[in-house]
Amino acid sequence: MADKTIMLVCASGMSTSLLVSKMRKAAEEKGVDAEIFAVSASDADANLAAKDVDILLLGPQVKYMLKEFQAKLADTNVKVDVINMQDYGMMKGEKVLTEALAAIA
C-alpha cells in the first residue's frame, strides 16, 4: 500500500487522466510512494468508502462541490482542496503533487 493516496475528482473522470500521469511521474522522480488516481464526481463517494484517501483534489470544473465534500469528510482526516485552474490547464503535475503533499504533511 502506498504511503499517500491522492484522489482527483472531475466531471467525468477523463479530463484529469493526463494530470494524474504527470503527477505519478513527478512522484516517481521525487521518490514519493503515492497512489494517484482520478474518478468522476459520481464515483467519488464509492471510492472514498473503498480506499483510505489522504486528500481529495477537485478539478476546477467541479469546484462548486467543495463545500459538499468538506461537509461529508468533516469527521475524517481526509483533506479537500481545489486544483488551481492555471496549474490544471497547464497540466503542471509536479506543482499539483507538491501542493497536495504539503497539505497532507
Is 48 one of the catalytic residues?
no
**Residues whose CB is less than 8 angstroms from the CB of residue 30 and which lie 6 or more positions away in sequence, other chains included:** 97
Spell out where the chain has E strands.
Answer: 4-10, 34-40, 55-58, 79-82
Active-site pick, 10, 26, 44, 83? 10
Three-state secondary structure call for residue 67: helix
Whole-number CA gyration radius for the chain:
12
Catalytic residues: 10
